[in-house]
């Protein structure tokens, strides 16, 4: 991925727009991060008004988006959802057709939905808008409980800060976990935030992360090679297995098993990038037990083999130096 087009139009949301600029537009070459040719584009170049009362001057039209490796669709005002600019629909369809990455932040997903590129796919949007999208586009499998969804090379994200999670998720696939961690560190955000937007939906009793579960999660990350089960984790939290599983899902947005599987994949990514350790040893270190199980889980989550991932993202020599 070398070129990124970020599309805005009148009424754009400044924070979500800033997320794309921060993730893909800054020069971080001094930290070993590759630069992208990042450009802000609009259906009609010139002054584009934000929803906060200030404007930006956009120099580029959509022609750059027609060639970009990644096209980012920023949120659009609700008043536009049923009358989206046809030029944006064409850009979305063309990007998907040529195999480019396509990402929407928050309500930008309504552009992709209107373009038809989400038909038959799983997607998400801000939880406040998920019911509206389901009514307008029943052919889309909408998951309102997650921070982002990737279906092939289309990534849709939930509201506001979930756009950061989606950007880092994409960067992990394009530049690897090590460099993505550097980007996240510069942004002062966690490189992998586990959980879902279900945590933020209005509830009679608000969910407050507990120190006991945080301590157990930290301990689990330090002991991934062990055979960890709900019973063992619940015992450390001084809870019954049933209570622990329920509390964990509420606070982390995933079952203990799913969360552990993701942490093991992330650890495997780091070891593949930083070391020349054999796959069998990595599998043991991460708690997969065998290289075959590592390959199966790695391929299911990341879409490529551990060997291919190492060939693409290895920085073992750099780490050794």
Q: Of residues 92 and 298, which shows the higher confidence score?
A: 92
Q: Which of 32-41, 208-217, 289-298 has the weakest average pLDDT? A: 208-217
How does DSSP classify residue 35? Answer: P
Residue with the two structure tokens 């756009």: 163
Per-residue pLDDT at 275 exceeds 50: yes
Nearest to 298 by CA among 311, 308, 313: 308
User: What Cα–Cα distance (Å) separates residue 70 from each residue in 53, 66, 89, 102, 157?
Assistant: 28, 10, 15, 6, 15
Task: Assess contact for 142 and 158: CB atoms under 8 A.
Answer: no
Nearest to 171 by CA among 7, 292, 12, 25: 25
Check residue 197 and give its pLDDT. 58
Per-residue pLDDT at 180 exceeds 60: yes
Per-residue pLDDT at 20 exceeds 60: yes
Calculate mean pLDDT across residues 38-44. 97
Check residue 177 and give its pLDDT. 82
Task: Assess contact for 234 and 279: CB atoms under 8 A.
Answer: no
Let me know how many helices (H) and strands (E) the chain has, helices first: 14, 10
How confident is residue 193, by pLDDT bands cut at 50, 70 and 90?
A: low
d(CA 64, CA 236): 54
d(CA 134, CA 141): 8
Average pLDDT taken over every residue of the chain: 88
Helix locations, the chain, DSSP H? 14-20, 86-97, 109-115, 130-136, 162-175, 177-187, 211-222, 230-236, 241-252, 256-274, 279-286, 291-302, 306-313, 316-320
Q: Which of 135-149, 206-220, 258-272 has the weakest average pLDDT? A: 206-220
How confident is residue 210, by pLDDT bands cut at 50, 70 and 90?
A: low
Does 3-187 carry CATH code 3.40.50.880?
A: yes
Token pair of 308 as six digits: 């291919």
Domain limits, the chain: 3-187, 203-321
d(CA 161, CA 20): 11
Q: Hey, what CATH class is 203-321 in?
A: mainly alpha
Calculate mean pLDDT across residues 227-254. 90
Q: What percent of the chain has pLDDT above 70?
A: 91
Per-residue pLDDT at 199 exceeds 60: no
Check residue 303 and give its pLDDT. 78
Q: What percent of the chain has pLDDT above 90?
A: 65
Per-residue pLDDT at 191 exceeds 70: no
Check residue 206 and give its pLDDT. 36
Per-residue pLDDT at 184 exceeds 60: yes
Check residue 204 and give its pLDDT. 36
Calculate mean pLDDT across residues 97-103. 98
Q: Of residues 44 and 198, which shows the higher confidence score?
A: 44
Check residue 319 and give its pLDDT. 46
Local structure of 12: helix, strand or coil: strand
How does DSSP classify residue 308? Answer: H
Q: What is the pLDDT of residues 61-82, one digit of tens each?
A: 999 999 999 999 999 989 889 8
Token pair of 274 as six digits: 């930083």
d(CA 281, CA 300): 20
Torsion over CA: 139, 144, 148, 150 (sign)? negative
Task: Assess contact for 106 and 125: CB atoms under 8 A.
Answer: yes
Per-residue pLDDT at 232 exceeds 90: yes
Task: Assess contact for 227 and 203: CB atoms under 8 A.
Answer: no
d(CA 183, CA 264): 21
Question: At a CB cut-off of 8 Å and minimum separation 6, what does 215 contact?
Answer: 236, 237
């Amino acid at each position: 991925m070398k070129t990124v087009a970020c599309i805005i139009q009148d009424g754009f949301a400044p924070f979500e727009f800033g997320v794309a600029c921060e993730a893909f537009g800054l020069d971080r070459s001094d930290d070993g991060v590759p630069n992208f040719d990042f450009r802000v584009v609009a259906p009609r170049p010139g002054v584009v008004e934000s929803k906060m009362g200030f404007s930006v001057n956009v120099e580029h039209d959509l022609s750059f988006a027609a060639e970009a490796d990644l096209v980012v669709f920023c949120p659009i005002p609700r008043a536009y959802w049923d009358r989206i600019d046809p030029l944006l629909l064409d850009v979305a369809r063309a990007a998907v057709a040529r195999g480019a990455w396509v990402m929407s932040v928050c309500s930008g997903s309504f552009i992709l939905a209107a373009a038809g590129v989400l038909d038959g796919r799983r997607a998400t949007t801000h939880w406040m808008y998920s019911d509206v999208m389901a009514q307008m586009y029943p052919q889309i499998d909408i998951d309102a409980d997650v921070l982002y969804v990737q279906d092939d090379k289309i990534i849709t994200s939930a509201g506001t800060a979930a756009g950061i999670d989606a950007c880092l998720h994409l960067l992990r696939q394009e530049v690897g976990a090590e460099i993505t961690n550097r980007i996240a560190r510069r942004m002062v955000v966690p490189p992998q935030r586990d959980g879902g937007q279900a945590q933020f939906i209005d509830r009679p009793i608000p969910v407050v992360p507990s120190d006991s579960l945080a301590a157990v999660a930290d301990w689990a990350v330090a002991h991934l090679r062990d055979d960890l089960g709900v019973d063992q984790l619940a015992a450390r939290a001084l809870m019954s297995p049933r209570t622990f599983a329920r509390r964990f899902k509420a606070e982390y947005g995933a079952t203990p098993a799913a969360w552990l599987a993701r942490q093991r994949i992330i650890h495997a990514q780091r070891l593949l990038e930083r070391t020349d350790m054999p796959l069998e040893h990595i599998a043991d270190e991460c708690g997969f037990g065998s290289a075959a199980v590592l390959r199966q889980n790695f391929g299911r989550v990341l879409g490529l083999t551990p060997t291919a991932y190492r060939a693409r993202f290895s920085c073992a020599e750099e780490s050794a130096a």
